[in-house]
A and B are shown apart, each in its own frame.
Chain A
Amino acid sequence: MSVRVELALDHGHAECGGPVPGGVSWTGNRKLDQVRVVLSYRTEGRGDVDTAVVDHRDLGTAESGQARFQLYVPALGPVTYHGQLYRLLWQVAVAVPETRAFGRSRSRLAIVAVADLTVVPQGWHQHPGA
């Protein structure tokens, strides 16, 4: 894997139902794979893991390039959570198809860059007491 990616979010937090804007630049995509940015959450803790990709954007197949993107958090979240029994964490990741031996299997995505995100309830930043 020789693709080099720089991922930057405009903000480190987003509201439920709100946008997640950011930018990506990449080089070294010699196999001209599809570069994709995904928004996902994952739980950690005592319980079995719950994980989901809630939004994604394809950024193209250029060998190098840069792009702006805007992903969206679902209106019902879930919100970022740090509890006693589990934590729920969000992240934005840039992924390209994983090339295996002989270049034939490309079903899996390899994460090449990650940015953490905090998802808060809708209207959180407008509230004076929040």
Chain B
Amino acid sequence: MSGTQVIVDRSRRGRGCLGIGCGTVFGGAGVAFLVGVVTMFTDGLASPGQGGTGGLLFGLFALGFGSLFAAGGGAAVFFGVRSLWRGHVLGAATLVVPSAPLLCLGAVVVARFGRSGGSRQVTGTPRLTAELICYESITYRQGTDSHTATRVVGRRDLAVQVDPAPGTVAGQIAIAVPLDAPPSMRLPNNRIHWSVHVLVQVPGLPDDSATFDVQVQPMVAGTVPPVAPVAPW
């Protein structure tokens, strides 16, 4: 089997939209609450003799409560917009993994990382660092709720060769899978999954990261023909 698999990291757009959405809801609620409290407060000041010390304390407490919501919402909106802006500037992150040799236990597969479609030329040489992480996760139900627990069971730094071409953020990542690690496993409630985490540091821009889920086959490198079995699930 020949060819490549292109994995696109879209988590930044999701995180940005989530931040903006949550920030708008909570921040808006906080601001509305503050406006209401301030209105009540000024009405109280306009007609002295009502409320007294208790009313003043309640007003201060409400002000603090509303301020917390407004500040939290504002921060969420800020980080959401920042996340979307970074995605717009640097472009979508992709990892191109060759189909052969197979990504399996003990294998070293050279994948190509790149960011494309950004609106701004990168002037300095970027710095790329990559890590291969193995997660174990389970799902269990308690009553009508479903809970998921995840643990990192292994991680290792990967060798990265940065593409020297000017104006690009790209490089080659040698994905070296340990031999004594579990392969990917995807059962309904119990899973093992692997991902490549890439940290991008570009002079003049905020640090950025991308995560790509990869499939580690239950085979040992060099002992079997390079043909991927078909997933039964």
Using CB atoms and an 8 Å cutoff, list the residues of chain A in contact with chain B. Answer: 16-17, 43, 45-50, 74-79, 81, 83-86, 88, 121-124, 126-127, 129-130
Contact = CB atoms under 8 A, between A and B. Distances in A.
B179 interface: yes
B232 A76 contact: yes
Contacts of A86: 136, 138, 190
B190 A127 contact: no
Nearest to B152: A84
B196 interface: no
The 8 closest A-B pairs by CB, nearest first: A47-B138, A123-B223, A75-B229, A123-B220, A50-B187, A48-B189, A122-B219, A121-B218
Contacts of B153: 83-84
B192 interface: yes
B182 A83 contact: yes
Contacts of B179: 127, 129-130
Contacts of B232: 74, 76
Interface in B100-159: 104-106, 136-141, 149, 151, 153
Contact of B219 (A47, A78, A121, A129): A121
A56 to B, nearest CB: 16
B19 to A, nearest CB: 29
A79 B217 CA distance: 11
Contacts of B230: 75
A37 B230 CA distance: 25
Q: Which residue, A74, A85, A124, has most C-beta atoms of chain B within 10 A?
A: A85
Interface in B177-198: 179, 182-183, 185, 187-190, 192
Given A85-B138, A85-B190, 12 more contacts: A16-B219, A43-B189, A48-B139, A48-B189, A50-B188, A75-B218, A76-B229, A77-B185, A79-B183, A123-B222, A123-B223, A129-B106
A57 to B, nearest CB: 19
A22 B151 CA distance: 37
Interface of B: 104-106, 136-141, 149, 151, 153, 179, 182-183, 185, 187-190, 192, 217-224, 229-232
Contacts of B188: 48, 50
B94 to A, nearest CB: 26
Given A17-B229, A79-B218, A81-B185, A123 B140 contact: no
Contact of A43 (B151, B187, B219, B224): B187
A130 B230 CA distance: 24
A124 B189 contact: no
Contacts of B140: 46-48
A85 B78 CA distance: 36
B108 to A, nearest CB: 14
A100 B229 CA distance: 42
Contacts of B217: 76
